[in-house]
């Protein structure tokens, strides 16, 4: 029998007619649920029970209260994922996700390790931002069929989706409306978990789940318009320096930044590889689907000259040598230590 972990709020076993839930509470304090409300985790479990049978349920609680709000304690999520290895979980049902891409430093390694033996099914942010761990290549990313194009409980594949979504699912169950909520990406996750559990119950090995998903009918969805954010070109910076700047803007200024890289670099969810041919489209996609306050484009001098022909650049930071760089914006050019110029850059973009 497969072991399924729902990482969420506390689950009320009475709501799913089940007494044998294994409970693990990672919350610092224990609060009682209000009797008239149904918790977010319970609703996920209710949807799961509509979609499959013959499984063991483990409830890892990382949220206080009844409804999962915006996730803030990424450490609890990382700890819950670590526990899933020891608990020998077969499928993780995860709605506790983050569009703060710098949280990747807490989640990437553990999800890579866990995915070797466990199938991780994770919701996309409901606003449509790139999301961790959902958008990782080793995680099955899920989005709700809000357009109601699929039959109830139906699933469809998305091929090469830039958001990292692998499956769309219809979670339009009456039990959700009875709880005064409707379909969401969170509740689409247990639909996909149930589908995968049925495949495992039929004897399909975990290693073939991804191939089986690729054989599902294809889902087609429309795209929205993007929003403009400041654009800074980083000239002649090494990949490690780019990542350090992203970290500085997040830790020092609480600014979420992302980057388009005109070259090769180690994988980081905040950085999207690009080329001069696809740069305009990639920039539009990042403006639309990344929760970002600032976008860097990183490349060399020749790439900067070509980029300026079709993209408006607000500032250019150029690495000179060692710790020294120069910054150019409007009719101003400053030379100095790179970290000091990063401070200047933040001031320029916020005043």
Taking only the tens place, the pLDDT of each residue in 230-273 is: 999 999 998 889 999 999 999 999 999 999 999 888 899 999 99
Q: Which helix (H) or strand (E) holds 47?
A: helix 40-51
| Non-local CB neighbours of 105 within 8 Å, separated by 6+ positions | none
What is the number of domains present in the chain?
A: 2
Strand ranges of the sheet holding 155-157, from the earlier edge strand across to the other edge: 22-25, 55-61, 2-8, 91-94, 119-123, 140-144, 165-169, 155-157
Judge if 148 and 259 occupy the same domain.
no
Tens-digit pLDDT profile for residues 4-41: 999 999 999 999 987 789 999 998 755 544 445 799 99
- What CATH number did the domain enclosing 66 receive? 3.40.50.200
Last residue of one domain, picked from the residues 186, 214, 242: 214
Is residue 222 in some structural domain? no
**Residue 192, number of CB atoms within 10 A of its CB:** 28
What is the bridge-based pairing of β-strands 55-61 and 22-25? Answer: parallel
Judge if 52 and 191 occupy the same domain.
yes
Judge if 318 and 344 occupy the same domain.
yes
- What CATH number did the domain enclosing 318 receive? 3.40.35
Is residue 125 in some structural domain? yes
Q: Which domain holds residue 240?
A: 231-350
Judge if 150 and 259 occupy the same domain.
no
**Residue 149, number of CB atoms within 10 A of its CB:** 13
pLDDT of residue 126: 85
pTM over 0.85: no
Judge if 194 and 281 occupy the same domain.
no
Is residue 220 in some structural domain? no
Last residue of one domain, picked from the residues 185, 214, 243: 214
In the numeric block, which tokens belong to residue 104?
A: 């990747």
Is residue 285 in some structural domain? yes
CB 8 within 8 A of CB 44: yes
Q: What's the distance, CA 313 to chain centroid?
A: 28
Last residue of one domain, picked from the residues 181, 214, 247: 214
Low-confidence ranges of the chain (pLDDT < 70): 29-36, 65-72, 221-227, 331
């Amino acid at each position: 029998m497969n072991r399924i972990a729902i990482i969420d709020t506390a689950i009320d076993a009475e709501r799913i007619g089940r007494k044998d839930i294994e409970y693990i509470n990672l919350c610092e304090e224990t609060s009682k649920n209000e009797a008239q409300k149904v918790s977010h985790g319970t609703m996920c479990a209710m949807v799961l029970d509509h979609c499959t049978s013959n499984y063991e349920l483990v409830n890892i609680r990382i949220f206080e209260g009844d409804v999962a709000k915006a996730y803030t304690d990424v450490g609890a999520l990382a700890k819950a994922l670590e526990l899933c290895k020891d608990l020998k979980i077969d499928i993780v049902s995860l709605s506790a996700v983050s569009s703060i891409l710098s949280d990747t430093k807490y989640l990437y390694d553990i999800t890579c390790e866990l995915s070797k033996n466990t199938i991780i099914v994770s919701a996309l942010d409901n606003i449509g931002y790139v999301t961790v761990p959902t958008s990782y290549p080793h995680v099955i990313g899920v989005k709700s069929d809000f357009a109601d194009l699929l039959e109830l409980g139906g699933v469809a594949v998305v091929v090469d989706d830039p958001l990292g979504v692998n499956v769309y699912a219809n979670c339009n169950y009456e039990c959700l409306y009875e709880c005064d909520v409707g379909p969401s990406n969170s509740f689409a996750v247990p639909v996909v978990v149930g589908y995968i559990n049925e495949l495992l119950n039929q004897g399909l090995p975990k290693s073939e789940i991804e191939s089986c998903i690729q054989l599902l009918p294809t889902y087609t969805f429309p795209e929205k318009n993007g929003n403009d954010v400041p654009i800074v070109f980083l000239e002649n910076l090494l990949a490690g320096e780019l990542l350090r700047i992203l970290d500085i803007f997040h830790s020092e200024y609480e600014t979420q930044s992302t980057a388009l890289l005109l070259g090769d670099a180690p994988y980081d969810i905040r950085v999207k590889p690009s080329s001069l041919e696809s740069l305009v489209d990639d920039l539009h996609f990042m403006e639309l689907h990344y929760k970002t306050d600032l976008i860097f484009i990183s490349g060399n001098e020749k790439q900067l000259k070509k980029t300026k022909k079709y993209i408006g650049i607000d500032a250019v930071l150029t690495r000179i040598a060692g710790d020294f760089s120069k910054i150019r914006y409007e009719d101003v050019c400053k030379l100095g230590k790179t970290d000091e110029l990063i401070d200047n850059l933040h001031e320029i973009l916020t005043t």
